[in-house]
Chains A and B, each alone.
Chain A
């Protein structure tokens, strides 16, 4: 056993998200929560016992709830734009490259991983899929935000600034597009809430091994032990020698 030698060359933690990504995530989830709690009352305005009016009154009434919703929405969109520009900057500076084992872009392997994982869950296979830097669950989480930004963000922008948007929509579509936009905004917002409540909350908070939460959102770091366990393919890239040694053992 070369435990001491390995410990010297392998750090205890590996940084996964730098401070900028962490700030982007914090802005994203705070605005998300504000948007949910200000928008829910309008979506279910006729909830029994006036529950929605009470929720809206918490924000100071419909007018101020609407204003807060718009401010939070614009902040979230700007956060998203910042994220995309920052990614572009990282690529331009060659500080980020697209590699099969580190990319967040969905790959055919992810579909296979889903199938393998379900087989494992059901006891049909004894082997868990080996994930790269981002598992399919994390990719799903990440791209869901993109989907949300395009569907909910664009429709929300159109609803908040209808006069601006009315100049770009074709006359022939004007009699139905507003209904489509409001349906998109409201239905996809519900999808986003359901998604966060079940998927993100389970995976990053409620799972026995992560409860009460994964601290990555603050520290940005993952322990090497966890990395090896959950992202073996990334571990192989980061510490090829240690990985080879492990294999021999």
Chain B
């Protein structure tokens, strides 16, 4: 019977040994997820901010990144993660990480790791007005990968209606900053882009599910977005001829002002007021007329029967 005790004692030890031996190779998601799938709430990180360490394994595995290992992006954690999170990081990733550290104080390396698989798009974002606000001006405002695409653990294809950058959700996603009047005011950006889009035919059709209605990126571009004052922007001056022309064949200079986020001067405002006054006065007249006529008909039928004709 003694050997049985030995087995009970050594088996866990062997298992532990097996685990340690594995830790030299890239971390398998399954291992990390043993703990991280169960973690709840947020933890105080050494860098300051509270971080959510929970990862939903099902959502992660069904995401487009579900086949990656944790350390594909969390490059700092190549060795035993909780002891020495300071592994060798490729130089280019390290350089980007230091540039965007203002925005990602906790793990800038992981945020910079996107550039390893998406180098072209990453460079476009860095050059865009969003990226420049972060790397050149070291501000935390300015959309970066995760601000638009959501958590990197759960990214789904753009065609998926659940994606924050799908046709269904993009306007709301952009609106999380562009609908923030305080933030827009800080940068002198038009504060009513969301309202003006919603009011427009584009916005209305999009809301009704029109598959051809444009979303923000249809006109403004996405990763390489630039301010309207930048000649590289698709909505800068005469670039609109081409941009609008994608859908509106033959768009010309008199047609392109048809859509604008700006207030188009005082005339439309007064025309609308005049039309409302007309509507209300006609409405008042006809309702008064109809009601009084009905009243007089009833009166005649009851009190003046036979006196007519």
A182 in complex: contacting residue of B201, B203, B209, B251, CB < 8 Å: B201
B64 at the interface (CB under 8 A from A): no
A180 to chain B, nearest CB (A): 5
In Å, the complex CA distance between A162 and B286 comes to 34
B21 at the interface (CB under 8 A from A): no
Beta-carbon nearest neighbor of A136 in chain B: B289
**Total interface residues in chain A, CB < 8 Å:** 48
- What sequence of 0s and 1s flags, for each residue 205-228 of chain B, a beta carbon within 8 Å of any chain A beta carbon? 101111111000000000000000
- What sequence of 0s and 1s flags, for each residue 277-302 of chain B, a beta carbon within 8 Å of any chain A beta carbon? 01100110011011011111101010
Beta-carbon nearest neighbor of A52 in chain B: B208
Q: Which residues of B contact A180 (CB under 8 A)?
A: 267-268, 271
Beta-carbon nearest neighbor of B198 in chain A: A46
- A41 in contact with B286 (CB, 8 Å): no
In Å, the complex CA distance between A190 and B254 comes to 28
A91 at the interface (CB under 8 A from B): no
Contact segment of A18-26, A103-111, A116-124: A116-124
A161 to chain B, nearest CB (A): 11
A199 at the interface (CB under 8 A from B): yes
Beta-carbon nearest neighbor of B213 in chain A: A62
Contact segment of B10-18, B26-34, B131-139, B257-265: B257-265
B292 in complex: contacting residue of A122, A166, A169, A183, CB < 8 Å: A122
B204 in complex: contacting residue of A42, A123, A175, A179, CB < 8 Å: A42
Query: A42-B208, A53-B208, A123-B299 given as contacts; is B309 within 8 A of A229 (CB)?
Result: yes
Interface size class of B (residues with CB under 8 A): 35 or more
B265 in complex: contacting residue of A176, A182, A195, A209, CB < 8 Å: A176
Q: Which residues of B contact A195 (CB under 8 A)?
A: 282, 286
- B272 in contact with A183 (CB, 8 Å): yes
A188 to chain B, nearest CB (A): 7
A76 to chain B, nearest CB (A): 20
A15 at the interface (CB under 8 A from B): no
Beta-carbon nearest neighbor of A137 in chain B: B289
B97 to chain A, nearest CB (A): 43
Beta-carbon nearest neighbor of B270 in chain A: A180
Q: Which residues of B contact A118 (CB under 8 A)?
A: 289, 292
- B250 in contact with A163 (CB, 8 Å): yes
Q: Which residues of A contact B294 (CB under 8 A)?
A: 202, 207
- B279 in contact with A42 (CB, 8 Å): no
- B271 in contact with A62 (CB, 8 Å): no
B232 at the interface (CB under 8 A from A): no
- A184 in contact with B251 (CB, 8 Å): no
B binding-site residues for A, Cβ under 8 Å: 198, 201, 203-205, 207-213, 248-255, 257-260, 264-265, 267-268, 271-272, 275-276, 278-279, 282-283, 286-287, 289-290, 292-297, 299, 301, 309
Instruction: List 18 A-B pairs, Cβ < 8 Å.
Output: A42-B204, A45-B208, A52-B207, A57-B209, A61-B209, A61-B210, A62-B208, A121-B293, A123-B299, A163-B249, A163-B251, A174-B255, A178-B264, A179-B264, A187-B272, A198-B283, A199-B286, A199-B290
